[in-house]
Amino acid sequence: MKKVLITGAAGFLGSHLCDRFIKEGHFVIGMDNFITGDKKNLQHLKSNPNFEFIEHDVTQFVKIEGELDYILHFASPASPIDYLKIPIQTLKVGSLGTHNLLGLAKAKNARILIASTSEVYGDPLVHPQTEDYYGNVNTIGPRGVYDEAKRFQESITMAYHRFHGLETRIVRIFNTYGPRMRLNDGRVIPAFMGQALRGEDLTVFGDGSQTRSFCYVDDEVEGIYRLLLSDYNKPVNIGNPHEITIRYFAEEIIKLTGTKQKVIYKKLPIDDPMQRQPDISLAKKVLNWEPKIGREEGMKKTFEYFKSLSKKQLYKSEHKDFSNYINK
């Protein structure tokens, strides 16, 4: 049994990672300060003897008693609405938080996996995006707080690896979806499904020609798990390379939900990437990984989850008008 610390444990991806590592027979310490996480995501683990939870902000000194084998750093706002609303916290968790956890990993001689993002590529000039592409990021734009936090996170992680010999892993996560996503977080899948369930028209920004590639959460978790246990220490793209335009995706959601709403168009936000598609050749080579769950199957599972939410949850949103919504 390995002892694993997962930060951002109450978030969408973090909670699924807790489940996976417990399923693999490890003891998991979940850590979150609930700035964007939800306690309900961990409710089912409350009485599990192989799970412990610590409420803590990782931008403050992180202390864990005893030995520690693995650290997975997933604490960070991850949706545009969140990191536009709390930009300073976003920068701090990517910088101070990462520094604290790298220091903890060094002290415990633990292997650490850092959750980076496809957003390090910015609005890419190379398509699809490979790990050796340096990106096209507006450092002072509204999205820069997230993009640059993650780019710094990668830099300091590699510095710890080179200078201290720390065992590090970096995953660049592309658009991921599935149960436990927050309905009001502003990302395109919960936004479209929430609008459909509330009987609202679906909002597309720009002309809808921008593309995204959606990976179901089980596939994403499998890729992350394999990367942690691999011997590869440079960034690896984990995502689904099947690309789709936002306009066509909106039509898919209307068909899936059986609703009759129309698609409405609004002005494209600043620095919204026009293309997003991972090249996963490296993941196939070093991890023997590729996604297995198709979009049709994954969307059905995700829609069933959103349908199961209460009307109170469905209509409770501080972002009902999605005025700052970004297609992510």
324 has a pLDDT exceeding 50:
no
pLDDT band at residue 311 under the 50/70/90 scheme: low
Nearest to 77 by CA among 50, 97, 63: 97
pTM: 0.93
Q: Please give the pLDDT value at position 187.
A: 86
- Higher-scoring residue by pLDDT: 81, 92: 92
What does the pLDDT average to over 211-229? 97
pLDDT: which is higher, 80 or 95 = 95
Q: How many residues comprise the chain?
A: 328
Across the chain, mean pLDDT equals 92
Q: Respond yes or no: is residue 83 known to be catalytic.
A: no
- CA 325, distance to chain mean position in Å, is 17
At 321 the pLDDT is: 39
According to the CATH classification, is domain 3-176+215-238 in 3.40.50.720? Answer: yes
Helices (H), 165-216: 188-197
The pLDDT value recorded for residue 260 is: 82
Least confident among 87-91, 165-169, 307-311: 307-311
| Residue 116: strand pairing partners | 172
User: What burial letters (b/e) apply to 226-250, b meaning 16+ CB within 10 Å?
Assistant: bbbeeeebebbbbbbbeeebbbebb
Set 70, 146, 160, 177: catalytic member: 146
Question: What percent of the chain lies above the pLDDT cut of 90?
Answer: 78
Please write the tens of the pLDDT for every residue from 34-60.
999 999 999 999 999 999 999 999 999
| Per-residue pLDDT tens digits for 176-217 | 999 999 988 888 999 999 999 888 999 998 899 988 999 999
Mean pLDDT: which of 215-224, 261-270, 302-311 is highest? 215-224
Model confidence at 310, pLDDT cuts 50, 70, 90, reads low
In the chain, where are the structural domains located? 3-176+215-238
